[in-house]
A = this chain, B = another copy of it.
Amino acid sequence: MNGEIIAIGRELLMGELVDTNTAYFAQELANAGVTVRWASQVGDDIEHLHEAFERALDRSDVIITSGGLGPTSDDLTREAVASVLGEELTVDRDMVSWIEGVFKERGITEMPRTNIKQANIIPSASFLPNPGGTAPGWWVKNNGSDIFLTPGPPREIKRMWNDHIGPAIRQMTGSGVVHTRILRTAGMTEGGIDEVLSDLFGQENPYLGIYAHTNGIELRIIARAATDDDALAMTEPLEAEIRRRLGPTIWGADNDSAASRLGDLLVGSSMTVGVVDSGTGGTVASMLSHVPDHARWFRGSMVTGPGGSPLATPLLESMLGGPAGRTAGAVSEAAAHQMAVNARQLLGADLGIGITPPSADDDEQMKGTIFVGLSSPDGEKVVRGRFYQSADRALPRAAMFVLTEATRALMADEV
């Protein structure tokens, strides 16, 4: 079953709004067994809308739109569908009463006259309830195609999908299940992974995809089958083969973030973590604090300004102190190790992480190099990475590096 998504609104073609509805519908449609082949943005222009619906009816079984159902004269989605199907719009009195009720609930006793427009409908359509707003949707059935019209606000759309559109479409497709498994990697380039797994790409089901995100290269296995068990049975051998070839390159799966994965490992071994950070400006702490249960294992972090800033207070000195850290802002294996030891001691943590500032050395091999020290009762380790971009790119990447390296060291029982 082929699907098509049309996002409607002048603001989308002016770039005033990023269209997130298309991605939402695309994912939900895929999960419901519909293959989305086309997606487009169209302005509030009756001719363009007419053309878009005509073409969509010609090539797609399910068409789903967002936007253009407001009360103003700009909102032309209803008019365009009526015109393509050659049907007439009439006002539904029950719907008028319902919209009046929504306004009353909001403390507005008189419904603005323009909102009557939202009670318009055509014979081949029925209303889709919208519990979150005044604009009801439409479900149009025409010659084997189904058109679903929804309003623009993402929050309203999600409820309408979950309550009405999703179940209706699943019934049409008699869709089985789609099982998606994400494997998250660190330490290899996209091209490098592509080479190692090249023979595994290209099959339809289970499908294997590779995507470069800001938080690393991710592999995605998508299996369609009649039941959960069947889909899982298709996914698991492929995952096992990928893990065999990539080994410790894979640090997490599915919704794991580097921070949540580290948290899970810490919980598993009843450990806490503390960070002495001169390299990511608190970004490691911030990422750890985003994990819901971090109260159980995150002890805190000390963050200095960038490397080389004078350490005027005894407190800051103690943070980088000890024989190796005596030179403020040192960028060395020894400094990272000492900072990790200090993190354990000063913050009362089991796993200490120390992060040196990035090297300002002009040398090609050193520029932007940071050292990351890991220290626990079970072992110690220092790794190095290079992040020479501007701060807005380097900080999150460096923090991801720190967290994935700590995770991989815990997984390998190195610390």
Count A interface residues, CB 8 Å. Answer: 98
Does B290 lie within 8 Å of A391, measured CB to CB? Answer: yes
Minimum CB distance partner of A48 in chain B: B37
Stretch of A106-114, A142-150, A226-234, A238-246 at the chain-chain interface:
A106-114
Within 8 A of B (CB), among A352-402: 365, 386, 390-393, 395
- Asked whether A126 is an interface residue with its Cβ less than 8 Å from the other chain, the reply is no
Q: A316's contact among B195, B300, B303, by CB below 8 Å, is which? A: B300
Q: Which residues of B contact A25 (CB under 8 A)?
A: 15
Q: Jot down 28 A-B pairs with beta carbons below 8 A, ordered by A.
A: A11-B209, A12-B23, A12-B26, A13-B38, A14-B36, A15-B24, A15-B25, A16-B211, A18-B20, A19-B23, A37-B43, A38-B40, A72-B201, A73-B201, A73-B202, A112-B194, A112-B195, A289-B305, A291-B391, A294-B391, A298-B306, A299-B312, A300-B303, A300-B304, A300-B316, A301-B301, A302-B302, A313-B347
A268 adjacent to chain B (CB < 8 Å) = no
A26 in contact with B15 (CB, 8 Å): yes
- B residues within 8 A CB of A45? 37
The listed residue (B16, B19, B303) touching A285 by CB distance below 8 A is: B303
For A83, the chain B residues whose CB sits under 8 A away are: none
Chain A interface main SS type = mixed
Instruction: Judge whether A191 and B114 touch: CB under 8 Å.
Output: yes
Residue A326 is within 8 A (CB to CB) of chain B in the complex: no
- Tell whether, in the assembled complex, residue B41 and residue A107 are in contact, meaning their CB atoms are under 8 Å apart: no
Chain B neighbourhood of A22, CB < 8 A = 12, 15, 19, 41
Question: Of the candidates B73, B201, B315, which one forms a contact with A346 in the assembled complex, judged by CB atoms under 8 Å apart?
Answer: B315
A281 at the interface (CB under 8 A from B): yes
Q: How far, in angstroms, from A345 to B298 measured CA to CA in the complex? A: 25
| A162 contacts chain B at the CB level, 8 A cutoff | no
Q: Is A39 an interface residue (CB 8 A)?
A: yes
| Total copies of this chain within the assembly | 2
Shortest Cβ distance from A309 into B: residue: B295
CA distance A48 to B299 in the complex (A): 53
In the complex, A30 has a CB within 8 A of chain B = yes
| A 34-87 contacts with B by CB, 8 A | 36-43, 45, 48, 70-74
A contacts, CB < 8 Å to B: 10-20, 22-30, 36-43, 45, 48, 70-74, 107-108, 112-115, 153, 155, 189-192, 194-195, 201-202, 209-212, 220, 222, 280-286, 288-292, 294-295, 298-306, 308-309, 312-313, 315-316, 318, 345-348, 365, 386, 390-393, 395
Contact residue among B12, B70, B347 (Cβ-Cβ distance under 8 Å from A39): B12
Q: Are A289 and B281 in contact (CB under 8 A)?
A: yes
Q: Once the chains are docked, how many angstroms separate the CA of A148 from the CA of B192?
A: 29
| CB-nearest residue of chain B to A301 | B303
B40 touches A39 (CB 8 A): yes
Q: Are A282 and B291 closer than 8 Å at their CB atoms?
A: no
Q: Which residue of B lies closest to A392 (CB)?
A: B290
